[in-house]
Structure 1
Amino acid sequence: MPPIPVVALVGRPNVGKSTLFNQLTRSRDALVADYPGLTRDRRYGRCQRGERDFLVVDTGGIMTNAESVDQAILRQVTQALEEADLVLFVVDAREGLTAADEEVADQLRRLGKPVLLTINKIDGEDPAIAAAEFSGLGFRDPILTSAAHNRGLAKLLARLEEQLPAPSVIPEALEAADESIRIVVVGRPNVGKSTLINRLLGEERVVVADLPGTTRDTVAVPFERDGRRYTLFDTAGIRRRSRVDEAVEKFSIIKAMQTIEQGHLVIFLIDAREGVTDQDARLLGYVLEAGKALVIGLNKWDGLDTDYKRRLRTQLDTKLQFLDFAEKMPLSALHGTGVGELFDRMPILFEQVRAELSTALLTRILQEATERHPPPLVKGRRIKLKFAHQGGKNPPVIVIHGNQTDNLPAEYKRYLNHIFRKRLKIKGTPIRLEFRSGDNPFAGRFNKLTERQIRKRHRMMRHVKKNKR
Structure 2
Amino acid sequence: MKPTIALVGRPNVGKSTLFNRLTKTRDALVADQPGLTRDRHYGHGKVGEKPYFVVDTGGFEPVVDEGIMFEMARQTLQAVDEADAIVFIVDGRVGITPQDKIIAQRLRQTDRPVWVAVNKVEGMNRGVVTADFFELGLGDPVAISGSHGEGVRDLINEVLERFEVPVEDEEADHPKFAIVGRPNVGKSTLVNAVLGEERVIAFDQPGTTRDSVYIDFERGGQQYTIIDTAGVRRRGKVTEIIEKFSVIKTMQAIEDANVAVLVLDATQEVSDQDAKVASFVLETGRALVVAVNKWEAADTEQRDRIKREISRKLGFLEFARFHYISALAGQGVADLFKSIDAAYEAAMIKIPTPKLTRALQIAIERQQPPISGKVRPKMRYAHQGGSNPPVIVIHGNALDEVPASYWRYLEHCFMKTFKLQGTPLQVQFKRGENPFDTQDKPRAKPNPRSKMRGR
Structure 2 length-normalised TM? 0.52
Find out whether 1:277 has 2:271 as its counterpart.
yes
One-letter amino acid of the structure 1 residue matched with residue 273 of structure 2: Q
1:176 is displaced (CA, Å) by: 7.1
Q: For residue 227 of structure 2, what is the aligned residue in structure 1?
A: 233
1:263 is displaced (CA, Å) by: 0.5
Query: Compared with structure 1, are the counterparts of its residues 261 and 231 closer, same or farther at alpha carbon in structure 2 (3 Å cutoff)?
Result: same
Deviation string, structure 1 residues 111-158 (Cα, Å, up to 9, x no partner)? xxxxxxxxxxxxxxxxxxxxxxxxxxxxxxxxxxxxxxxxxxxxxxxx
Residue of structure 2 aligned with 1:329, choices 308, 323, 326: 323
1:249-268 residue pairs with structure 2 within 5 A? 252-268=246-262
Residue of structure 2 aligned with 1:375, choices 369, 374, 377: 369
| 8 Å CA contact retained: 1:236, 1:250 | no
SS at match of 1:402: strand
| 8 Å CA contact retained: 2:211, 2:246 | no
Query: Compared with structure 1, are the counterparts of its residues 176 and 310 closer, same or farther at alpha carbon in structure 2 (3 Å cutoff)?
Result: farther
Query: Compared with structure 1, are the counterparts of its residues 177 and 302 closer, same or farther at alpha carbon in structure 2 (3 Å cutoff)?
Result: farther
Could you tell me how far apart the structure 2 residues matched to 1:186 and 1:378 are?
Answer: 43
Q: For residue 447 of structure 2, what is the aligned residue in structure 1?
A: none
SS at match of 1:310: helix
Find out whether 1:223 has 2:223 as its counterpart.
no
Deviation string, structure 1 residues 269-294 (Cα, Å, up to 9, x no partner)? 01011131111111111100111110
1:40-439 residue pairs with structure 2 within 5 A? 179-202=173-196, 217-236=211-230, 252-439=246-433
| 8 Å CA contact retained: 1:188, 1:251 | no
One-letter amino acid of the structure 1 residue matched with residue 303 of structure 2: K
One-letter amino acid of the structure 2 residue matched with residue 331 of structure 1: I
Q: Percent identity?
A: 47
| RMSD over equivalenced CA pairs, Å | 3.3
Structure 1 length-normalised TM? 0.50
Could you tell me how far apart the structure 2 residues matched to 1:173 and 1:311 are?
Answer: 55
SS at match of 2:257: coil
Could you tell me how far apart the structure 1 residues matched to 2:168 and 2:320 are?
Answer: 28
Query: Compared with structure 1, are the counterparts of its residues 304 and 219 closer, same or farther at alpha carbon in structure 2 (3 Å cutoff)?
Result: closer
1:217 is displaced (CA, Å) by: 2.8
One-letter amino acid of the structure 2 residue matched with residue 315 of structure 1: E
Deviation string, structure 1 residues 226-256 (Cα, Å, up to 9, x no partner)? 111111112249xxxxxxxxxxx99832221
Query: Compared with structure 1, are the counterparts of its residues 311 and 175 closer, same or farther at alpha carbon in structure 2 (3 Å cutoff)?
Result: farther
Could you tell me how far apart the structure 1 residues matched to 2:287 and 2:212 are?
Answer: 20
| 8 Å CA contact retained: 2:174, 2:225 | yes
1:349 is displaced (CA, Å) by: 2.0
Task: State how many pairs are aligned.
Answer: 259
Q: For residue 109 of structure 2, what is the aligned residue in structure 1?
A: none
Could you tell me how far apart the structure 2 residues matched to 1:290 and 1:173 are?
Answer: 35
1:332 is displaced (CA, Å) by: 0.5
SS at match of 1:270: strand
One-letter amino acid of the structure 2 residue matched with residue 401 of structure 1: H
One-letter amino acid of the structure 2 residue matched with residue 323 of structure 1: L
Q: For residue 140 of structure 2, what is the aligned residue in structure 1?
A: none
1:177 is displaced (CA, Å) by: 7.1
SS at match of 1:189: coil
One-letter amino acid of the structure 2 residue matched with residue 201 of structure 1: L
SS at match of 2:380: strand
Could you tell me how far apart the structure 2 residues matched to 1:298 and 1:176 are?
Answer: 37
Could you tell me how far apart the structure 2 residues matched to 1:322 and 1:291 are?
Answer: 13
| 8 Å CA contact retained: 1:3, 1:258 | no
1:175 is displaced (CA, Å) by: 9.4
| 8 Å CA contact retained: 1:177, 1:222 | no
Unaligned 5+ runs, structure 2: 1-23, 28-165, 202-209, 232-242, 439-455
1:331 is displaced (CA, Å) by: 0.5
| 8 Å CA contact retained: 1:235, 1:251 | no
Could you tell me how far apart the structure 2 residues matched to 1:336 and 1:255 are?
Answer: 27
Unaligned 5+ runs, structure 1: 5-171, 211-215, 238-248, 445-469
Could you tell me how far apart the structure 2 residues matched to 1:219 and 1:201 are?
Answer: 13
SS at match of 2:388: coil
Q: Answer with 1 or 2: which has the greater Rg.
A: 1
